[in-house]
């Protein structure tokens, strides 16, 4: 039999029959693209997990705030000198500020007294920051908590201190928590932005206090001005240094504030609930996809924040004033925002920032009395601190530091 003719081999360099078909090439490109997408998603997930599980970035959490404070003091001094104050008087003002804050036992007592409510209002703002919420309502929550605490403080009589004092403190916590529940519920159920709601609730709380202090329930007998009845001695927070001198006003509320800071630190970084708070704050859509209830987180975190601010109000009326009067909050809720920013929303950072701001409050009085420099300088310094803390690249540029690899998101924006 004759053999079929054989096809001659292709000439050298012509291997078209060995090249993959377009379908094979497209499939390989799709596999490579899919692999690249999966790797990029994995890197993003690891980065998100790192942000959620890392409690402290010591470079941005410690160095930047310290340099911000130093820069604010320098710029504040320059502003004072531009107003006509000499360099000698400016340095004397800062010296009086230091002496008035830590120069004696009484000065330290006043610093710690001012620090106590700032710790709690700072925590109220910081825990909301961690969940991606901007709680501007600590002022109103403090006012409502203070009113419920003072009501329990003078209403119940004849109770022993071990019952009456916890009852009055708890009443303040509940009052603030209820006031914090309102913006949390509206945010979770209707999407109402917490900034708008909490601002409005601050004004409502302020006017509610003015109204209640003129009612027979609260107003002191024989007085026409809006001032409440005195809290019973059994509901007053004991002085920590009263055995040395009754003029040392630091009270048991400081211990409660430190316990609260430790509890919030444990809650955020050692519990599943705290992980959910931080996960929702980092990416609510991803947290919802992972099975977390964003609605529950928003409501719970605002209730806790309100309770902390209410505890601050309890400390003011049960430990410092022993009564309530218009404006007893003294803008402590708004100062809590600055404390939370300076503390980078870390509970122990909030404590340190509160000590600094408490020292500025206590030392400002001494500075004004001794040197004659207006206490408005304290407000200027506080504002400058916040400006520099909010702009880490500016501090890095001033001191020629290596720029941070990533910025920390404090809360979601208006479009969230």
Tens of pLDDT along 221-231? 888 888 999 99
Whether 329 shows a pLDDT value over 80: the answer reads yes
Predicted local distance difference test score (pLDDT) of residue 61: 62
Predicted local distance difference test score (pLDDT) of residue 393: 82
Domain residue extents for the chain: 119-340
Please, what's the largest Cα pairwise distance for the chain?
134
Whether 115 shows a pLDDT value over 80: the answer reads yes
Highest mean pLDDT among 179-183, 243-247, 345-349 belongs to: 179-183
Name the residue with higher pLDDT: 372 or 152.
152
Predicted local distance difference test score (pLDDT) of residue 414: 42
Tens of pLDDT along 355-379? 999 998 888 888 877 777 777 778 8
Which of 29-43, 153-167, 246-260 has the least mean pLDDT?
Answer: 29-43
Residue by residue, what is the 3-state secondary structure of the chain?
CCCCCCCCCCCCCCCHHHCCCHHHHHHHHHHHHHHHHHHHHHHHHHHHHHHHHCCCCHHHHHHHHHHHHHHHHHHHHHHHHHCCCCHHHHHHHHHHHHHHHHCCHHHHHHHHHHHHHHHHHHHHHHHHHHCCCCCCCHHHHHHHHHHHHHHHHHHCCCCCHHHHHHHHHHHHHHHHHHHHHHHHHHHHHHCCCHHHHHHHHHHHHHHHHHHHCCCCCCECCCCCCCCECCCCHHHCCCECCCCCCCCCCCECHHHHHHHHHHHHHHHHHHCHHHHHHHHHHHCHHHHHHCCCCHHHHHHHHHHHHHHHHHHHHHHHHHHHCCCCCCCCCCCHHHHHHHHHHHCCCCHHHHHHHHHHHHHHHHHHHHHHHHHCCCCHHHHHHHHHHHHHHCCHHHHHHHCCCCCCCCCCCCCCCCCC
The mean pLDDT value for 129-137 works out to: 93
Predicted local distance difference test score (pLDDT) of residue 300: 96
Mean pLDDT for all residues in the chain: 84
User: What are the distances in angstroms from CA 238 to CA 161, 250, 320, 321, 380?
Assistant: 10, 9, 10, 13, 34
Which of 199-203, 240-244, 294-298 has the least mean pLDDT?
Answer: 240-244
The mean pLDDT value for 12-23 works out to: 54
Whether 344 shows a pLDDT value over 60: the answer reads yes
Which of 24-33, 79-88, 179-188 has the least mean pLDDT?
Answer: 24-33
- In this prediction, what percent of the chain has a pLDDT beyond 90? 50
pLDDT band at 28 (very low <50, low <70, confident <90, very high): low
Among residues 358, 412, 291, the alpha carbon closest in space to that of 102 is found at 358
Taking the CB of residue 145, how many other CB atoms lie within 10 A of it?
37
Predicted local distance difference test score (pLDDT) of residue 10: 55
The mean pLDDT value for 103-120 works out to: 93
- In this prediction, what percent of the chain has a pLDDT beyond 70? 81
What's the sign of the alpha-carbon dihedral 241, 246, 250, 253?
positive
Predicted local distance difference test score (pLDDT) of residue 280: 93
The mean pLDDT value for 195-212 works out to: 94
Partners of residue 39 on adjacent β-strands: none
Predicted local distance difference test score (pLDDT) of residue 55: 44
pLDDT band at 54 (very low <50, low <70, confident <90, very high): very low
Whether 253 shows a pLDDT value over 50: the answer reads yes
**Residues 6+ away with beta carbon under 8 Å from 336:** 118, 120, 121, 122, 123, 124, 125, 138, 309, 312
User: What are the distances in angstroms from CA 33 to CA 25, 37, 46, 96?
Assistant: 12, 6, 20, 66
Predicted local distance difference test score (pLDDT) of residue 60: 59
């Amino acid at each position: 039999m004759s053999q079929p003719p054989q096809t001659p081999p292709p000439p050298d360099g012509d291997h078209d029959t060995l090249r993959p078909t377009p379908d094979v090439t497209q499939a390989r490109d799709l596999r490579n693209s899919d692999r690249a997408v999966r790797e990029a998603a994995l890197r993003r997930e690891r980065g998100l997990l790192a942000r959620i599980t890392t409690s402290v970035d010591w470079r941005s959490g410690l160095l930047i705030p310290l340099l911000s404070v130093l820069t604010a003091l320098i710029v504040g001094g320059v502003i004072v000198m531009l107003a006509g104050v000499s360099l000698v008087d400016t340095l004397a003002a800062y010296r009086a500020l230091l002496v008035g804050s830590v120069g004696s036992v009484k000065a330290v007592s006043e610093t710690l007294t001012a620090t106590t409510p700032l710790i709690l209002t700072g925590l109220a703002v910081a825990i909301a920051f961690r969940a991606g919420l901007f709680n501007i309502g600590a002022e109103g929550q403090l006012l409502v908590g203070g009113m419920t605490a003072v009501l329990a403080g003078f209403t119940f009589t004849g109770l022993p201190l071990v019952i009456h004092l916890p009852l009055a403190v708890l009443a303040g916590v509940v009052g603030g928590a209820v006031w914090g529940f309102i913006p949390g519920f509206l945010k979770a159920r209707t999407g109402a932005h917490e900034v708008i709601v909490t601002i409005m609730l601050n004004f409502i709380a302020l006017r509610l206090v003015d109204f209640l202090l003129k009612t027979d329930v609260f107003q002191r007998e024989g007085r026409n001005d809006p001032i409440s009845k005195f809290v019973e001695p059994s509901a007053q927070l004991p002085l920590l240094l009263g055995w040395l001198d009754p003029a040392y006003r630091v009270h048991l509320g400081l211990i409660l504030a430190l316990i609260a800071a430790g509890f919030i630190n444990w809650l955020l970084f050692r519990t599943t609930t705290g992980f959910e708070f931080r996960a929702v704050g980092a990416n609510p859509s991803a947290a919802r996809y992972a099975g977390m209830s964003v609605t529950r987180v928003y409501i719970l975190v605002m209730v806790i924040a309100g309770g902390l601010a209410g505890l601050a109000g309890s400390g003011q009326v049960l430990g410092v004033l022993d009564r309530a009067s218009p404006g007893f909050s003294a803008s402590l809720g708004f100062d809590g925002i600055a404390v939370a920013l300076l503390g980078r929303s870390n509970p122990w950072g909030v404590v340190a920032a509160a000590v600094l701001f408490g020292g500025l409050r206590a030392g400002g009085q001494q500075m004004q009395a001794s040197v004659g420099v207006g206490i408005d300088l304290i407000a200027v310094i506080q504002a400058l601190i916040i400006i520099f803390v909010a702009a880490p690249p500016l501090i890095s540029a001033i001191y020629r530091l290596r720029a941070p690899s990533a910025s920390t998101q404090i809360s979601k924006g208006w479009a969230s």
